[in-house]
Structure 1
């Protein structure tokens, strides 16, 4: 998604590789102002093409004096647009405008108390002292000409400003919840200093997206949506259906690694409650055959991504032949039939799949991002590509979608394939389906489903000895995973009540043949990821 520059205020965030960059974007969107993250290496022309109201320079893990420091164009500091530097951003400003940055005598990490010495526009309405979150090993020791220090901690400079140049910078991270009054500080910059209007609302997003998709597909074009039954693909489908109506055909594929009874349930929901035209394709054997003997998680994701597109291509060909017969198929300049593939790709999928947002590392590819084949026949429509999960749910509510769909916990595109460690076989899929169903049932019964970001079972490639009915068993180990999160970018393991864990464990061991041991995963993200693969 891109902001409509003619009607929407935009704040550009240049990413220097900070783990908090996406959080800056989220905080700004909470003010109903559109924000877009660009890599710090983006040409200045690309930044200005977005007609931004202001620019934020993110934090980052590097030092400005390193030979391989992220190479942003220093001319960004001469645009006369309001600029806010955060952590590394402050050091970048200092370094490139003639000041000096050195390693700090004392590294600041964690909570710090900041004394505000100068209540300029950035600190308007804030108290004299605030608790903030610091994470830096360097410090500005000499300010550029025209800059003044506006706040400090007991051991270091905390903020600087040059109001004539319209540049402000803080050494701490106002975007994290640990920073007191951080949201107010960002609001001061975005609304008061930049003059951005809070006009980026679900209503505006729906209207602009519908108009854009309608223009993209054209008056005769047809689209295919790959439905998973989850929130993302469902909202994407309803949005595109709103734009082009019955020229959208949804395809729901049984890839052999769906949850228990999901193939039938999703079909009913999409047709009866959302009014979508759905073609169901049972390709379970086809997928499992391709996955046979594969244990590498990246290989699994790419195989599933490629196979999905192959299935879609097959179905698209049938649909287009039917349209051709009816004389309503659209053709491009070369005479090729035109069709589009709609996907529910979200911002975190893109971020974790590719280092497109600056020097951040690739964590893992997602089947609908890093797993797509280069020679794909269908053209992509990804209306939710720049949204976070909670924003997608807000859009869904404004579209009038039922809560039972919107409140579903995220389910990975590759399905249970990334929750079965090791080889994927029909028997192992069946075992995990039963175990996962127990987890979902008991979490819902305890009234915890909506409080958790995700809760699920993982089948490990580990067998252990057990005793059941006075007989020795040798069966698989199942891990239970439950996390809380705001957007999936970071997550904390959830302290499920012991009684809930006890019931889950007892039911799995007694009801699921093939599992005799249950363990609980207490790893947060980072250092782990939410999914095991």
Structure 2
């Protein structure tokens, strides 16, 4: 029998407490597996994938797995993932303290590092400084974990809690300014890193894992995956059995690969490929989907269902004052919440598909719904398919409550649910799909519906005025030194000396205007969803992209209620923005965005830039600039955001930098042509990395 106190399992089984570590370990057969303890990380399955890439087998298990189980299964090493919780809170996640005394090497990541430190007597506190994005840290190359690496490393940090006092038996092996970035005990083979070695933004992450797995844990590295294509085909045959499969095809690589797998596994006579035009497609999108997929032998039916989607509503479970209930939405055309939009669209896809099958005379029990859901979709939706502890970042249309109910009834098959985007593309090549389809930029299932920021009133919290003031001190840092203020202390306390020096130099040389926009966008900070403000930077000078991007990186560190920073094209913004243009998914809003999207994608094609960036969302926001209070002009116009993005894993990434990832000429051409669209106020360029901002704005 066991209970738990302050996050630790307490057992009345004396054998559980008296672990002769080496003896117990020798008594159990040694395997080559690594146990990945799940603390609710957004990147948990990315860790799993990175370890597999090094030919080491992993198994994801709950954080509260017992030490006895770990020993009995003979794991070679333990990795504790990151997560959204605080290790010091009253509702901290449960774990067995004995895992630290069984002689198995441990690497804690983010939350995992903080747990290691707290367990051995150190302290963890919520700091005044957040770190969200890529940072340069100093590591100790003499430590086994960083063996062979240079002293400075670029890594991804995303956390608000930090190690305060380091546990006595540990030493600091990496720092980010004054913040502890890693701790280690070489003798006990116990380590913790505050950063995320599993993502691409940690440039030497694979080398760090390699050191831990091979130099510290002595893993042999002889694990190889069986053919993943054949594994998918076998899985499809097992789940579909003698039924037919209906695959919803958007035209993107995920659903195309899913459809190709189904055809190969079941044959064309047992696969129905359906493209549902929900009214939120890009210009000529549905026709392009039909042509491109029929070229590769996929016979596809197109269903035009725009009106059905516009007028649809749904319900989904929520907690209301601690009581579980269901929230009933308004019709989609009147909805402002991005989460509600995603729920409605996802559920409506399923209902429209069911109606289509009914018209064909096919009974629900005779068919399985197939969709190209990827691992990142499930992670960001906090699906139990991906993690038992993760927080929702955004609900994906292919992971709504209705879809989850179908999963429980074995009514859905998702052959790609353990894949990431680059793995899907590799599989597409194996299946013989054409390059133009494999390398196509991702387009969300809800389409343009989540690229229209809908609002009926401005988003203003009690901190709006203070954040506006703080932004002015940041962009005017050099001149602000002459008028001492608490904001200066906050800015200095959030930045390293080199970052303060940059801010002094840049703000002395360039005059930048900072405007806080009264709208909110979704972000991911510390494995949690954030709804925060957008900061707009503008100037009468030509944009100095390198400096603006550095500024965009620093602002969310200082202003914790800002998760996105944009460059606003045109002259410096003089008038603050106090209201918004009421916006729904109207025909005017959608046609305006559709035209802007076509201009952007045409320019990227013409300049051969589509292969240089990973994705390029175009977003309509309800902001009308350049209206002073004295003018008494109502807010009637809207603005367009261009968000070119560079990533490999689609879990993290950076905004494309003009002159580096994309030619400046292309950016200025887009600015000029989009500004000609009637009803457009200004064009903005999103400079935000992920984290703190997500790829999409909703």
Shorter-chain TM-score bucket reads 0.7 to 0.9
For structure 2, the 5+ residue unaligned runs are 1-30, 313-331, 455-583, 628-634
- Secondary structure of 2:311's match? helix
TM-score by structure 2 length? 0.62
SS of structure 2 residue aligned to 1:337:
helix
Q: Which residue does 1:525 correspond to in 2?
A: 690
Partner of 1:248: 271
Q: 1:71 to 1:409 in 2, by over 3 A?
A: same
Please say if residues 33 and 200 of structure 1, whose CA atoms lie closer than 8 Å, have aligned partners that are also in contact.
Answer: no
Give 1:83 shift. Answer: 3.7
Aligned match of 1:343: 371
Residue 259 (structure 1) shift = 0.8
C-alpha contact (below 8 Å) 1:475/1:514 kept by paired residues: yes
Distance 1:396 1:35, change over 3 A: farther
Return the offset for 1:81. 5.8
SS at match of 1:100: coil
- Indicate the RMSD between aligned Cα atoms, in angstroms: 3.8
What is the distance in 2 between the residues matched to 1:51 and 1:281? 53
1:302 counterpart = 2:327: no
User: Which of 629, 644, 647 is equivalent to 1:485?
Assistant: 647
Select the residue among 4, 16, 25 that pairs with 2:39. 16
5 Å-filtered alignment, 1:187-198, equals 187-190=210-213, 193-198=218-223
Shift in Å at residue 351 of structure 1? 1.4
Q: CA deviation at 1:434?
A: 1.8
**TM-score of the superposition, structure 1-length normalised?**
0.79
**Partner of 1:354 in structure 2?**
382
Structure 1 unaligned spans of 5+: 1-7, 325-335, 467-472
Whether contact under 8 Å (1:365, 1:371) holds in the other structure is no
Q: 2:395 aligns with which of 365, 369, 372?
A: 365
SS state at 2:399 partner: coil
Distance of 1:91 and 1:517 partners within structure 2? 44
> Quick one: structure 1 residues 527 and 54, their matched pair in 2 at CA, closer, same or farther if it must change by over 3 Å?
same
- CA displacement at 1:317 relative to structure 2: 2.8
How many angstroms does 1:37 deviate by? Answer: 4.7
Does the 8 A contact of 1:480 with 1:518 survive in 2?
yes
- Structure 2 residue 48 is matched with structure 1 residue 25: yes
* Mapping of residues 379-398 of structure 1, within 5 Å: 379-398=411-430
CA contact (8 A) 1:114 1:132 kept: no
Distance in 2 between residues matched to 1:381 and 1:49, nearest whole Å: 34
> Which residue does the alignment assign to 1:469?
none
Cα distance, 1:70 vs structure 2: 2.1
- Alpha-carbon distance change, 159 to 382 in structure 1, aligned in 2, over 3 angstroms: same
Q: How many matched pairs? A: 490
State the match for 2:90 in structure 1.
Answer: 67
CA spacing shift, 1:127–1:188, aligned 2, 3 Å: closer
Q: Indicate how the Cα distance of structure 1 residues 86 and 318 shifts in structure 2: closer, same or farther if over 3 A, else same.
A: same
How far residue 115 of structure 1 moved from its aligned partner, in angstroms, is: 3.4
Q: Distance in 2 between matches of 1:413 and 1:93?
A: 40
* Alpha carbons of structure 1 residues 284 and 61: separation in structure 2 relative to 1, 3 Å: closer
Asked if residue 92 in structure 1 is aligned to residue 115 in structure 2, the reply is yes
**Contact 2:114-2:192 at 8 Å conserved across structures:** no
| Cα distance, 1:50 vs structure 2 | 9.5
**Aligned counterpart in structure 2 of residue 278 of structure 1, from 295, 300, 305:** 300
- Quote the Cα distance in structure 2 between the aligned partners of 1:61 and 1:363: 11
Matches within 5 A, 1:80-479: 83-86=106-109, 88-90=111-113, 92-93=115-116, 96=119, 99-103=120-124, 111-115=136-140, 119=144, 126=148, 131=153, 136-143=162-169, 158-161=183-186, 167-171=189-193, 173=195, 174-175=197-198, 181-190=204-213, 193-200=218-225, 204-218=227-241, 220-246=242-268, 247-273=270-296, 275-290=297-312, 291-319=332-360, 321=362, 337-354=365-382, 356=384, 357=387, 359-370=389-400, 372=402, 376=406, 379-422=411-454, 423-463=584-624, 475-479=637-641
C-alpha separation between the residues in 2 aligned to 1:181 and 1:498? 30
Per-residue CA shift, 1:426-467, capped at 9, x if unaligned?
A: 33322222211111110122222122221132222345689x
SS in 2 for 1:212: helix
In the TM superposition, what whole-angstrom CA distance separates every residue of 1:188-237 from its partner, at most 9, and x where no partner exists? 44456233434127xx111111111111111x211111111001111111
